[in-house]
Each structure stands twice: as C-alpha cells, then as structure tokens.
C-alpha cells in the first residue's frame, strides 16, 4: 500500500486533461472580468504604466496585497497566501496561467471560474471570490477567502504519519453534507463542476469549501452542444467517461460519482480508486463495483480479471465495512452506480439514512491537525 507522501506525488500526475473549447466564445479583453462592469472605459493590457492601465477598474495586486508564501500549484494557476492591506485579512491569490487562448486572449478556465463564482448568491460551502486584481505585467489574480487546509494535502500528511484519516465517521458525515449541499446548489443551476476531487476541496475552521471552478460549465439539456470528454481527474472520473459511452453528453451525475470517491477517501484517508492509467482505473472500478452492464459495450479485459473479487465486485465493501455502517455503504453504492439514471443526485444523498443513524453528523469539527 502507498503511504501518504507517495500518494501526494502521484496525485500531481493525476490531472484532468483540460480542454480547449466546448465551443465557448473566447473573450479577448481583461476588462470584461474586472469589477463586473459591462462597459469598461479603460483598456487593461499593453505596456503602459499601471496608473493608466488599471486605475478605476481593478486593484493593482501589490498595492493592495502582500504575498506571504506560495500555497498551491495547480494545472492552471499558482496560488499564494497574501495579506490584504485594506481589510487586514488573509486571502488566497490565484495567478491565472495563460493556456488555450490566443496571445491577446484570456484563459478559458479563468473565464469559467469567474462566470460560475459570480452566479447568484454566495454559498457557505463554495469558496468566496473576493476580488480580481492585476499586476503591472498584466497577470490576472483571482482573490479568494483564504482556507487553512487543502483536503488532499491534509489527508496525505495525516495518513503518512498515522496511517489513517484525520476524520472520524461523524466528521465525514458533516463534510459530506457540506459537499452535497454545494453540489445541490450548482446542479440546481445546471452547472457541472467537472473536477470534483479532494485537492479541490478546502477546509477552514470546520467548514468544507468547494474550489477550482476552472472546468465548470452550465449545460442545457435542450440546446446541448457536445462537451469535451477530457474532464475530471482520472481517480475521480465517472465510468461513462472512462468507457466513453456518454463521453460528450454527460450530466451532473459525473460530479456525483466523484463525490462518492471523495467520501470514501475521507473515510479511508487514501484515494479509493488510484489507477495509473485508464485501463488500471477501469480495473479498480470493476474490483469495487463489478463489471459494467451490457449497455457499456463489450467487456473490457482488465488485469487480474479472473480473480474471484474482481468478478463479484466486493472490494468496496471489504475496504470500508470496518469504518462505516450499512447505510454508509449503501449510499456509496448508490452514488457510484454505473447507471447514470439510477445514480443518486445531491438532493437524494442529502436525505440519505446515512445522516440519521449513529454516529450523527458532528457539530464539533476539528479546526487544527497535528502531523
Ligand atoms: N482559497 C484558497 N485557500 C487556500 N489554498 C488554496 C485556495 N485556493 C486554492 N488553494 C490551493 O491551491 C491549489 C491549486 O488551486 P486550484 O485548484 O484553484 O488551481 P488549479 O490550477 O485550477 O488546480 P488543478 O490542478 O486542480 O487544475 C489547491 O489545490 C489548494 O492547495
Ligand atoms: Mg485544483
């Protein structure tokens, strides 16, 4: 079995493949993203001094924020902890790395992130976007409330030291409820996050916050255009994407599969399905859930396919039965159903009996961890 540090290293290689399109229109000026103004009067960009380029539209990043250190490096951005000189609070600054855009264009993932985060009222379990700032070299920074822990880093570090999750079942119930509450909020608005994984979940003073909306998109069941199949990091990728049966017409159900992986990981302290590549990932899914139904097409041969466990798909029960009740197991099987029409929604998960049997969801969540 891998220890926490080895898992952390492998996590960095397990990234969603990203995308270039979905036919979304590409915005070409940075003003559109700053201050919410629909008719900016000042041009952001070019080589002018910061006084003439950004005044009145966006804060200049170093005028307002003092970087304290680097806290994260994702596929699409570098994240710094910083001190907000105006409010005295700590914030997270995400510098958006250019990719998939023309030289004068703007990262599509940033546009997505802003579009989703500015939609509707804030949700307590969705990381709060506080501001957008620019640097004199025209880098754009999304400014978020600062969260003390990244759930993946927390699990990896704790597991490396103690060989178990830092969360007991009552804590996992509170965290799962917070995650599904955020997902219910998004899904009601027809937004699919498309990158649910533990490193996109932040934790601050007992509250889980869903982050990283760089792949999020709204879908329209009536006028739907095909969506890219290259979404969701491999370990959390739903079988309809892996087997490529609903590769471009998937729904919010892909987030629910991924949420099942996350909840199992919160219980175990290590990722549930950590395949090295697509074939190994499919094999791990088969071990836990049996072979997919015939609607998935001809059976894929997976390594070790002949073992009794692989055929019966009992590995999920074997690995989790000492840590959670029947209700917990039943819930995970319902979230990780091959049939997307039967797979539970966030709303169903929130009303599960998992939350009404002992131990009840904890009101007393840990706020600090030793590792
Ligand atoms: N608000 C925040 N508070 C504290 N840390 C944060 C915050 N936002 C992000 N981070 C850290 O930075 C990392 C990268 O951020 P984020 O996931 O938004 O970037 P990304 O480039 O889109 O990532 P990915 O590799 O998942 O595509 C997170 O996994 C987390 O460790
Ligand atoms: Mg991320």
- Asked, for residue 193, whether it belongs to a domain, the answer is yes
Say which CATH number the domain at 121 has. 3.30.200.20
**pLDDT, tens digit, for every residue of 253-294?**
999 999 999 999 999 999 999 999 999 999 999 999 999 998
368 pLDDT band, cuts 50/70/90, is: very high
Instruction: Report d(CA 357, CA 317) in Å as an integer.
Output: 18
Query: Of the residues 14, 59, 156, 195, which is catalytic?
Result: 195
- Asked, for residue 339, whether it belongs to a domain, the answer is yes
Q: Which of 164-168, 212-216, 304-308 has the lowest mean pLDDT?
A: 304-308
What are the tokens at 229?
């199949």
What is the Cα 361 distance to its own chain's centre?
22
Give Cβ neighbours of residue 120 (< 8 Å, ≥ 6 apart).
189
**pLDDT, tens digit, for every residue of 64-82?**
999 999 998 877 779 999 9
- Position 98 pLDDT exceeds 80: no
Using the 3D structure, point to which of 110, 145, 180 is the last residue of a domain: 145
Same domain, 330 and 181: yes
Q: Residue 313's pLDDT is what?
A: 73
Q: What is the mean predicted confidence (pLDDT) over 207-236?
A: 83
Instruction: Report d(CA 178, CA 209) in Å as an integer.
Output: 8
Give Cβ neighbours of residue 165 (< 8 Å, ≥ 6 apart).
155, 158, 159, 172, 266, 267, 268, 269
- Position 46 pLDDT exceeds 80: no
Residue 156 known to be catalytic: no
Between CA 193 and CA 201, with CA 196 as vertex, the angle to 5 degrees is 110
Same domain, 165 and 256: yes
Q: What is the mean predicted confidence (pLDDT) over 40-55?
A: 37
Using the 3D structure, point to which of 115, 145, 175 is the last residue of a domain: 145
- Side-by-side strand order, sheet with 90-96: 59-60, 129-134, 140-145, 90-96, 77-84, 65-73
Which stretches of 271-353 are assigned E, i.e. beta strand?
A: none
Ligand 1 contacts CB of residue 93 (under 6 A): no
What is the chain's mean pLDDT, rounded?
Answer: 83
Q: Residue 314's pLDDT is what?
A: 85
Q: Counting runs of H as helices and runs of E as strands, what totals does the chain give?
A: 13, 11
Say which CATH number the domain at 290 has. 1.10.510.10
Same domain, 155 and 83: no
Q: Which residue has tokens 């965290």?
A: 175
Same domain, 226 and 338: yes
Domain that holds residue 114: 31-145
Q: Residue 108's pLDDT is what?
A: 79
Contact 179, 262 (CB under 8 A): yes
Same domain, 128 and 74: yes
Q: Residue 175's pLDDT is what?
A: 98
Same domain, 181 and 106: no
Q: Which residues pair with 208 in a beta bridge?
A: 203
40 C-alpha to center of ligand 1: Å? 29
User: Is it true that the peptide bond before 359 is cis, omega within 30 degrees of 0?
Assistant: yes
Number of domains in the chain: 2
- Asked, for residue 25, whether it belongs to a domain, the answer is no
- Position 24 pLDDT exceeds 90: no
Between CA 331 and CA 333, with CA 332 as vertex, the angle to 5 degrees is 90
334 pLDDT band, cuts 50/70/90, is: very high
DSSP letter (8 states) at residue 148: S
Quote the pTM value. Answer: 0.86
Ligand 1 contacts CB of residue 167 (under 6 A): no
- Asked, for residue 16, whether it belongs to a domain, the answer is no
Ligand 1 contacts CB of residue 92 (under 6 A): yes
Instruction: Report d(CA 49, CA 57) in Å as an integer.
Output: 14
Same domain, 242 and 348: yes
Same domain, 79 and 194: no
């Amino acid at each position: 079995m891998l220890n926490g540090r080895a898992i952390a290293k492998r996590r960095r290689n397990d990234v969603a493949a990203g995308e270039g399109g979905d036919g979304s229109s590409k915005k070409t000026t940075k003003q559109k993203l700053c201050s919410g103004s629909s008719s900016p009067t000042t041009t952001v960009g070019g080589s002018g001094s910061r006084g003439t380029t950004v005044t009145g539209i966006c804060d200049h990043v170093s005028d307002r924020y003092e970087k304290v250190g680097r806290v994260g490096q994702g596929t699409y951005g570098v994240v710094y902890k910083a001190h907000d000189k105006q409010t005295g609070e700590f914030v997270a600054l995400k510098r958006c790395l250019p990719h998939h855009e023309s030289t004068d264009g703007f990262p599509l993932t940033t546009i997505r992130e802003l579009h989703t985060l500015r939609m509707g009222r804030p949700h307590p379990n969705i990381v709060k976007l506080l501001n957008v700032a620019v640097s004199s070299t025209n880098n754009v920074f999304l400014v978020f409330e600062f969260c003390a822990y990244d759930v993946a880093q927390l699990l990896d570090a704790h597991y490396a030291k103690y060989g178990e999750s830092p969360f007991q079942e009552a804590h996992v119930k509170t965290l799962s409820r917070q995650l599904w509450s955020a997902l219910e909020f998004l899904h009601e608005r027809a937004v699919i996050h498309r990158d649910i994984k533990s490193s996109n979940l932040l934790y601050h003073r007992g509250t889980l916050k869903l982050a990283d909306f760089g792949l999020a998109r709204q879908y329209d069941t009536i006028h739907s255009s095909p969506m890219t199949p290259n979404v969701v990091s491999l370990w959390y990728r739903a079988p309809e994407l892996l087997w490529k049966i609903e590769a471009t017409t998937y729904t919010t159900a892909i987030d629910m599969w991924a949420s099942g992986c996350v909840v199992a990981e919160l219980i175990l302290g290590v990722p549930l399905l950590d395949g090295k590549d697509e074939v190994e990932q499919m094999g791990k899914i088969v071990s836990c859930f049996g072979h997919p139904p015939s609607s998935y097409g001809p059976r894929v041969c997976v390594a070790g396919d002949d073992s009794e466990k692989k055929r019966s798909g009992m590995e999920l029960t074997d690995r989790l039965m000492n840590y959670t009740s029947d209700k917990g197991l039943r819930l995970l099987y319902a979230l990780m159903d091959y049939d997307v029409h039967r797979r539970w929604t966030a709303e169903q998960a929130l009303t599960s009996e998992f939350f009404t049997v002992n131990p009840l969801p904890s009101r007393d969540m840990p706020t600090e961890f030793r590792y």
